[in-house]
């Protein structure tokens, strides 16, 4: 026969928090644990001198928070490299936190593009064993500050933007026009890009894709298998772009070339654009004319 004993409220709470209560012959399931902070929103905006990235949580703040620059991003759990657009990459990690419930994310898209001077992309790199992490692609490496706010619970990352930018356009497929057979098939959207190196900077924004709002309006980035570019040069009115990753038109008459050409020809220094495949080939490498590699032919 089990003898019942009185357990103090304080002892009860302490054992309950640990996950299991065994007293007086009764047990509490292990799922009766302390609430794990859940990421519910990601926001970003530009302020004088900095871009501010905010991670908002429900259920308190994560026990561990960190931010640092890294050479590359690797997925937690998978160990696979994760691409993010930018000249520098930040890794933001939260220990003792989650970003999913019932098999779905709790904070929105796992990859998002931003039209800010510093922040180009924010990409989830892991949500594994109560460790939540994100990669942040930025236009230029600069000072970073991490701090927390409450009511509601937020982790804030301020990224300094002490550099000059100019406005340039990245041209994306206008899927609404394209599907209706109505020209123009591309639409330019403004991006703040760092100078010098404006042509490369705006191409980087192109490969980052449209923002959520732009995608909702029908804009799409057609990469044709390319994941980016290794370099872009401009000499005597000719811009040369060297693609990385893959290269295939997929039989379509619209390819990444239809986006690269107007994106570069907005600059007075560019009259012709020659695009090279990842192996370094294009169909007309010489002369004053546009050129695409054979892999971008329909």
How does DSSP assign 203-226, residue by residue?
HHHHHH---HHHHHTTEE---TTE
Q: What's the alpha-carbon Rg for the chain, to the nearest Å?
A: 25
Q: Is the pLDDT of residue 2 over 50?
A: no
CB neighbours of 45 closer than 8 A, spacing ≥ 6?
51, 52, 116
Q: How far apart are the first and last CA of the chain?
A: 82
Q: Is the pLDDT of residue 64 over 60?
A: yes
Question: Does an H or E element contain 55, and which?
Answer: strand 50-58
Lowest mean pLDDT segment, chosen from 22-36, 91-105, 106-120, 140-154: 22-36
pLDDT number for residue 33: 59
Could you give the angle at the alpha carbon of 159 between the alpha carbons of 190 and 193, nearest 5°?
A: 25
Q: Give yes or no for a contact between 146 and 154, defined as CB atoms under 8 angstroms apart.
A: no
Give the domains, in start order, of the chain with CATH numbers.
1-34 (no CATH), 38-160 (2.60.40.3500), 166-296 (no CATH)
pLDDT number for residue 35: 86
Q: Is the pLDDT of residue 9 over 70?
A: no
pLDDT number for residue 78: 86
Q: How far is the C-alpha of 109 from the C-alpha of 104, rounded, in Å? A: 10
């Amino acid at each position: 026969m089990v003898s019942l004993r009185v357990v103090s409220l304080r002892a009860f709470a302490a054992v309950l928090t640990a996950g299991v209560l065994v007293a007086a012959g009764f047990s509490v399931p292990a799922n009766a644990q302390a609430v794990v902070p859940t990421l519910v929103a990601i926001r970003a905006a530009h302020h004088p001198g900095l871009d501010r990235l905010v991670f908002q949580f429900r259920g308190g703040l994560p026990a561990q928070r960190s931010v640092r620059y890294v050479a590359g991003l690797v997925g937690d759990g998978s160990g696979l490299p994760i691409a993010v657009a930018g000249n520098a990459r930040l890794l933001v990690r939260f220990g003792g936190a989650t970003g999913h419930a019932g098999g779905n994310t709790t904070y929105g898209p796992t990859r998002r593009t931003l039209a800010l001077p510093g922040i180009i992309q924010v990409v989830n790199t892991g949500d594994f064993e109560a460790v939540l992490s994100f990669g942040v692609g930025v236009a230029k490496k600069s000072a970073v500050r991490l701090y927390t706010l409450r009511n509601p619970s937020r982790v804030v990352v301020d990224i300094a933007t002490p550099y000059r930018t100019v406005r340039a356009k990245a041209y994306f497929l206008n899927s609404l026009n394209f599907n209706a057979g109505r020209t123009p098939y591309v639409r330019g959207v403004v991006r703040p890009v760092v100078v010098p190196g404006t042509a490369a900077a705006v191409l980087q924004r192109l490969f980052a894709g449209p923002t959520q709002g732009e995608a909702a309006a029908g804009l799409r980035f057609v990469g044709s298998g390319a994941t980016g570019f290794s370099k872009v040069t401009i000499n005597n009115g000719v811009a040369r772009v060297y693609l990385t990753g893959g290269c295939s038109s997929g039989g379509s008459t619209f390819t990444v070339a239809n986006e690269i050409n107007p994106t570069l020809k907005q600059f007075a220094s560019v009259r012709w654009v020659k695009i090279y495949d990842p192996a370094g080939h294009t169909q007309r490498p010489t002369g004053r004319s546009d050129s695409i590699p054979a892999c971008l032919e329909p």
